[in-house]
Amino acid sequence: MSAPPLRHWLLGLALSLLAAWVAGAFFLDTVQPVVFDTAVNRYVPAPGTSSRTRGEGWATSKVGGHGIRGLPGGDLPQGPKVVFWGDSFVEAVQVDDSERMAQVFTSLARRDALPLNGVGIGNGGDTLIDAVFRLPDYAGVLEPVALNVLVLSRLEDTLPDMPRPCRARFLSTPELRLERGDCPPSTLGLRLAGPFHSLELAGAFELYRKLQTLTVRLSPGPAPLTTRGNAPAPEIDQDAAFNFLLARTQELARGPVLLLRIPPVPALNQGRIVLAEPQPDLSRRIAQACARNGVGFLDLGPAFAARFQATGRFPRGFFNTPPGTGHLNQDGHRLVAEAVLNYTKEHRDALLAP
């Protein structure tokens, strides 16, 4: 039997590539191009672009000025703002713009005749320290800010000497200090992201990213094992470290600060529902440090547990992810917004003083 003509192979290749492109365009997360914003002195998502999330949740997000998502009309609102700072929990690409904590806060504030607008500034993978360094960088474009809400999803972010490649760090030696950290995107990545975004080549861009981390070894035999010893961690006065971190945060914020804890509860553990904070001692000490330093502190654990007991719904998880895991869903974002709204009502006179 003769081999199929070359045109059959080419047709099959073309159809395969078309099927791969269609699948990527509908079922993969969008490639997000970034640009350098001189106003905030950092790379930000390109304003005017839209991103699609499919791996966790099912959402579409629009990027506005200075790389900030969810802005009405793409522009920062006038007047006093409540700014949510954090990591991917604030970036919140898993939910549509109208369902994010900042936008839900704005809607609730309007309902209650509070002249406040919510703004969310977050970046996946960032730490609390990264958010702290963003405070002065964005000050010029955000003013006036009535309240800075620092969303804390990992209690470890408050501890010194935690390894954070390419991220800002909290260090204890030779003295307590905060240190910026950044890994700018590669020149090739900057060039490819725009066309890949426009042409919906999410699959090809994912392959490019995987090839970047691929290590090829050609020598025979087992790979040599590289071990790296860790230096013993110095003894740290945690309360002194917390005091330093909060004082430095207030200095950079130049305004009221609220630390908002988002614990990983409720959670499923071997078929049982866990409602208790997994790190109660550390959470308690952070709350005490906030009280000592005049920083607001809210723990969303009780609100999450109460909502679950009342409705049976988790604040985390989506239809395409395990329940109680991952990022906040619509319920979780609304609970955060409601908690911050109640806090602003309790401190209205101080936050809205002229």
Q: Locate the domains of the chain by residue range.
A: 47-183+235-351
**Is it the case that residue 202 has pLDDT exceeding 80?**
no
**Tens digit of each residue's pLDDT (9 = 90 or more) over 53-68:** 888 999 999 999 999 9
DSSP single-letter state for residue 144: S
- Per-residue burial over 163-193, b if 16 or more Cβ lie within 10 Å, else e, is ebeebbbbebeeebebeeeeeeeeeebeebb
User: Scanning the structure block, which residue is given the tokens 């609100």?
Assistant: 303
pLDDT at residue 301, as a whole number: 96
Architecture of domain 47-183+235-351: 3-Layer(aba) Sandwich (3.40)
pLDDT at residue 235, as a whole number: 72
Peptide bond into 33 cis (omega under 30): no
pLDDT at residue 30, as a whole number: 79
Confidence of residue 213 (pLDDT cuts 50, 70, 90): low
Average confidence (pLDDT) over 99-121: 97
Residue 236 or residue 241, greater confidence: 241
Which ranges of the chain does DSSP label H, i.e. alpha helix? 6-27, 88-91, 101-111, 128-142, 187-198, 202-212, 238-253, 280-293, 301-311, 330-346, 348-351
**Tens digit of each residue's pLDDT (9 = 90 or more) over 135-146:** 999 999 999 999
- The answer to which of 86-90, 319-323, 333-337 has the lowest mean pLDDT is 319-323
User: Scanning the structure block, which residue is given the tokens 């930000």?
Assistant: 44
pLDDT at residue 255, as a whole number: 85
For the CA atoms of the chain, what is the radius of gyration?
23
pLDDT at residue 14, as a whole number: 65
**Tens digit of each residue's pLDDT (9 = 90 or more) over 264-322:** 999 998 889 999 999 999 999 999 999 999 999 999 999 999 999 999 999 999 999 99
Confidence of residue 225 (pLDDT cuts 50, 70, 90): very low
For residue 327, give Cα distances in angstroms to 61, 153, 223, 277, 321: 16, 10, 37, 17, 10
**Is it the case that residue 51 has pLDDT exceeding 90?**
no
Average confidence (pLDDT) over 102-114: 97
pLDDT at residue 220, as a whole number: 52
pLDDT at residue 55, as a whole number: 86
* Mean pLDDT score across all residues of the chain: 86
pLDDT at residue 19, as a whole number: 60
**Is it the case that residue 337 has pLDDT exceeding 60?**
yes
pLDDT at residue 195, as a whole number: 72
